[in-house]
């Protein structure tokens, strides 16, 4: 396989740590990347994906679809010689259906919080 058909990818986790970098062919699918992430997930993390469908990959602000290839997801400015692409990993636990038909989260852990702080001028 020609060297230019290979892409180096790092996967950035919720806590800022990385998995990889790994080298993939441009024809590898996003689903294949997710399978690698689940199998290579670091031990000791508080959030752990139990299945591939709980993992979302984000590159250049877009959630990647499972059937897309690495070549289709590559961003032109990511082609820096000697560089690699960083994809962000989001774990979204599955919803399970109870006997009553109500959905509940399998994991009850608190995962993340977004907060916007505004600085208002003081009234002096």
Q: How far is CA 8 from each of CA 20, 33, 36, 61, 97, rounded to the nearest angstrom?
A: 9, 12, 14, 19, 39
Question: What's the chain's average pLDDT?
Answer: 77
Where is average pLDDT lowest: 1-10, 45-54, 63-72?
A: 1-10
Asked if residue 7 has pLDDT above 60, the reply is yes
pLDDT of residue 52: 92
Give the closest residue to 57 by CA, choosing from 28, 30, 19, 23: 30
For the residues 43-49, what does the mean pLDDT come to?
90
pTM: 0.68
In the chain the beta strands, taken as DSSP E runs, fall at 6-12, 18-25, 55-59, 62-63, 85-91, 95-97, 103-105
Residue 110 CA to residue 37 CA, distance in Å, equals 22
Helix (H, G, I), strand (E, B) or coil at 5: helix
pLDDT of residue 120: 58
- Between 113 and 30, the more confident residue is 30
Domain topology for 3-105: Ubiquitin-like (UB roll) (3.10.20)
Residue 18 CA to residue 89 CA, distance in Å, equals 9
Residue 43 CA to residue 13 CA, distance in Å, equals 13
For the chain, the structural domain boundaries read 3-105
pLDDT of residue 79: 53
Burial class for 73, CB neighbours closer than 10 Å (0-12, 13-18, 19+): buried
- Provide the percentage of residues in the chain whose pLDDT is more than 70: 65
Residue 85 CA, chain-centre distance (Å), reads: 12
- 71-112 pLDDT, tens digit each: 887 665 445 555 678 899 999 877 654 445 555 454 445 455
């Amino acid at each position: 396989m020609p060297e230019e058909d290979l892409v180096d990818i790092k996967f950035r986790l919720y806590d800022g740590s990385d998995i990889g970098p790994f080298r993939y062919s441009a024809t590898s699918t996003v689903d294949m990347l997710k399978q690698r992430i689940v199998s290579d997930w670091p031990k000791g993390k508080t959030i752990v994906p139990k299945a591939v469908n709980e993992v979302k990959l984000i590159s250049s602000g877009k959630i990647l679809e499972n059937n897309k290839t690495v070549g289709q997801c590559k961003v032109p400015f990511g082609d820096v010689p000697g560089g690699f692409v960083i994809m962000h990993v989001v774990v979204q636990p599955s919803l399970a259906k109870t006997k009553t038909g109500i959905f509940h989260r399998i994991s009850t852990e608190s995962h993340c919080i977004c907060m916007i702080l505004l600085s208002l001028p003081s009234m002096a």
